[in-house]
A and B are shown apart, each in its own frame.
Chain A
Amino acid sequence: MLAILKRELRSYFSTSIGYIFVGIFLALSGALFSYTTLQQRENSDSSFYFTLMLFAFVVILPLLTMKLFSEERKLKTEQLLLTSPISLWSMVFAKFLAAYAIFAVTFLVSCCNFFILFNYGSPEVAIILGNIISILLVGAAFIAIGVFVSALTENQLIAAFGTMAILLILLLLGVASSYVNFTPIRLIINWLSIFTRYTPFTYGEFSFSAIVYYASITFVFLFLTVRIFEKRRWD
């Protein structure tokens, strides 16, 4: 597993995709941070920043996941992985972990922006930390979804746009629920919505059920990815 993890991490930076991701991520987070906090003066709201970042992830996280399996399939290098003495789980998890590591490190670096705020006032540390933890969890779920879509196709572009579409739908579910009058369906949509689950963190509340929810999504999509490879072997 370590071999695949190392190879993936190296490959992000031997091709330009790693630099592009880090560059766009930091530029975007810097701009959003400056817009939502520094320019708002005393009304600055760090939760709004994180919410916007969540939507930015829809576009930038697929950059990390789109090639993970689709390229292996296209170049037939997956034959090497699938005929080597490693389990499907460790193969899938190594790929997930590589993308996640790049995301998490870049995100944590971008959070250094918050040190600036302490020069001007006393921001609520609890809210910021709650948001950071939940963003790390949402990121894991998003990346797991990206890994799954990447295993479905050998075309990187389809993998990227497919992931974007799914992530966008998941985020907008919460917004859509307010238009649904039928209560049971609204409850179900709210239950499914990534965004609704995220809201407590923006108040500085620590929601255990949300953590379980994001962890479950991550697990389910990694599990489905393993199943794709098993199914393909039997077909």
Chain B
Amino acid sequence: MIKIDHLVKHFGDKKAVNDISFTVEAGEIVGFLGPNGAGKSTTMNILTGYLSSTSGSAIIDGVDILENPMEAKKKIGFLPEQPPLYLDMTVEEYLNFVYELKGCTLSRKKHLAEICEVVKITNVYKRMIKNLSKGYKQRVGIAQALIGNPKVIIFDEPTIGLDPKQIIEIRNLIKTLGRDHTVILSTHILPEAQAVCDRIIIINEGKVVANEKRENLTNLIQGNRRFEIQVCGPQKEVMSELKNMQGIAKVEYLGNSELDSNMFMIESQPGIDIRKTLFYALARNNWPLIGIDAMGATLEDIFISLVDKAKEQQKPKRTKAQK
């Protein structure tokens, strides 16, 4: 559905986007993740035809945005970081304006009513946009992106500045939209990508550092080697027994819990399933194991390690160039 090929964008001397390539299949929700200034918004702005790329191509449903912008723009609904709302209009006037602007041919009344239903703004339809809360403004922005039923919907930081309840509502809304549309969502909030997206593309300093399915990304780094365990037994002895197990890489005491038990985090060496060894070691000492939870790495861990990895890979090249 979307094919980005060797995209480069310079702002003066700065390379905001530096040779980015990826594809997005129809019906996917893809998260575009990166710190502020990583090049997320620039990529999205190129994809929507707001900016032109210095080189490379962006193809939406077979149409190149540079070669045939009119056709490509018809296939895209876009919610920029700041929703493009005219504050002096009512929601009704605004949505009708966007409907006409996009040259939409669907039945106007029915289409707008459906959208308002989906994004839950029917109750503010007649109100002035300037009088709406931030959450509602964001919804009106999303409604605007849905007009014309575009195949691709692009959200740039859709939950920024919203309160926790609104954030959850908007995330659920995006998930619902993902059933019928291809969705790209940019964010710097990792749990957001985790909660909403099927696939996550991590970008840093204008380059893609990872492009994985959500589950794979976690496995990629840690491979499910970490467990949180709860053991009824004296802390020091349990600790030393755990450390002496074969195939153990790391043990950490997390604190004591109910039933006179202690919590530990254990991490095995790569390629080793530590669970059986753990069971027998504790059984030998008559320390009941009353809880075991697999701990995937959080996206924060993944993100930091991937970004560091990418930096390390760049370092030798730089020194070579300096020489």
A interface residue numbers (CB < 8 A to B): 2-4, 6-7, 10-11, 14-15, 75-87, 233-235
What are 23 A-B interface contacts by the 8 Å CB criterion? A3-B97, A3-B100, A4-B101, A6-B97, A7-B89, A10-B93, A15-B88, A75-B85, A76-B82, A77-B84, A77-B85, A80-B101, A80-B144, A83-B49, A83-B50, A83-B73, A83-B76, A83-B78, A84-B101, A84-B102, A85-B70, A85-B74, A86-B70
Per the 8 Å Cβ criterion, residues 23-82 of B in contact with A are: 48-52, 69-71, 73-74, 76, 78, 80, 82
Q: A213: shortest Cβ distance to chain B, in Å?
A: 34
> Which residues of the other chain, B, contact A7 by a CB distance below 8 angstroms?
86, 89, 97
Q: How far is the CA of A191 from the CA of B47 in the complex (A)?
A: 46
Q: Is B191 at the interface (CB under 8 A from chain A)?
A: no
B11, A85: Cβ atoms closer than 8 Å = no
Given contacts A3-B97, A85-B74, contact A14 B89 (CB under 8 A): yes
> Residues of A contacting B82 with CB < 8 Å?
75-76, 79
Q: Tell yes or no: B295 within 8 A of A by CB.
A: no
- Taking the closest CB of chain A, its distance from the CB of B155, in whole angstroms, is 13
* B101 adjacent to A234 (CB under 8 Å): no
The dominant DSSP class at the A interface is helix
CA distance in complex: A7, B84 (Å): 14
Alpha-carbon gap, A226 to B30, bound state (A)? 34
Task: Name the residue on B nearest A7 (C-beta).
Answer: B97
> Nearest Cβ distance between residue B186 and chain A, in whole angstroms?
14
Per the bound structure, the CA–CA distance linking A79 and B100 in Å amounts to 16
Closest 4 CB pairs of A and B: A3-B100, A80-B84, A85-B73, A77-B84
A83 CA / B48 CA spacing, docked (Å): 6
Interface: B98 (CB within 8 A)? yes
Interface residues of B (CB under 8 A from A): 11, 48-52, 69-71, 73-74, 76, 78, 80, 82, 84-89, 93, 97-98, 100-103, 144
With contacts A14-B89, A77-B86, A79-B50 known, is A235 near B11, CB below 8 A? yes
The answer to whether A79 and B84 touch across the interface, beta carbons within 8 angstroms, is: yes
- Smallest Cβ distance from B92 to chain A, in angstroms? 12
Closest to A84 in B: B101
A76 to B71, CA, bound (A): 23
| Contact present for A82 and B70 (CB under 8 Å) | no
B98 in complex: contacting residue of A10, A11, A80, CB < 8 Å: A80
Q: Which residues of B contact A80 (CB under 8 A)?
A: 80, 84, 98, 101, 144
Q: Other CB < 8 Å A-B pairs besides A11-B88, A86-B103, 5 of them? A: A76-B80, A77-B84, A79-B82, A80-B144, A81-B101
Q: Which residue of A lies closest to B156 (CB)?
A: A79
| Contacts A15-B88, A76-B80 given; does A82 touch B49 at CB 8 Å | yes
Q: Are B52 and A234 in contact (CB under 8 A)?
A: yes
Q: Given that A83-B73, A83-B76 are contacting pairs, would A11 and B86 also be in contact in the complex, using a CB cutoff of 8 Å? A: yes
CA distance A80 to B48 in the complex (A): 10
**How far is A11 from B128 in the complex, measured between Cα atoms in Å?**
13
B100 / chain A contacts, CB cutoff of 8 Å: 2-3, 6
How many Å lie between the Cα of A100 and that of B102 in the bound state?
A: 24
Chain A min CB distance to B71 (Å): 8
Q: Bound state CA distance, A4 and B101, in angstroms? A: 7
Docked pose: A85 CA to B69 CA in angstroms: 7
Which B residues lie within 8 Å of A83 (CB)? Answer: 48-50, 73, 76, 78, 80
Closest to B82 in A: A76
Chain B positions within 8 Å of A81 at CB level: 101
Are B89 and A85 within 8 A (Cβ)?
no
B112 CB to closest chain A CB (Å) equals 14
- Does the CB pair A14–B102 fall under 8 Å? no
In angstroms, Cα B87 to Cα A11, docked, is: 10
B69 contacts across to A, CB distance below 8 A: 85
Which residues of the partner chain B approach A85 to less than 8 Å between Cβ atoms?
A: 69-71, 73-74, 102-103
> How far, in whole Å, are A2 and B103 apart by their CA atoms in the complex?
10
Docked-complex contact A233 and B51, CB < 8 angstroms? yes
**Pair A87/B88 contact, Cβ less than 8 Å:** no
User: How far, in whole Å, are A78 and B100 apart by their CA atoms in the complex?
Assistant: 16
- CB A188 to nearest CB in B, in angstroms, measures 37
Q: In the complex, what residues of A have CB within 8 A of residue B50's CB?
A: 79, 82-83, 233
Chain B residues, CB < 8 A from A2: 100
Complex: A63 Cα to B101 Cα, angstroms: 25
| Min CB–CB distance A3 → chain B (angstroms) | 4
Q: How far is the CB of A19 from chain B (nearest CB, A)?
A: 14
Contacts of A77 in B (CB 8 A): 84-86
Of B11, B74, B97, most buried by chain A (CB within 10 Å of CB) is B97
What is the bound-complex CA distance between A76 and B76, given in angstroms? Answer: 18
Residues of A within 8 A of B80 (CB): 76, 79-80, 83
A87 with B70: CB separation less than 8 A: yes
Alpha-carbon gap, A115 to B144, bound state (A)? 49
Task: State A77–B80 Cα separation when bound (angstroms).
Answer: 9
B150, chain A: closest CB distance, angstroms: 10
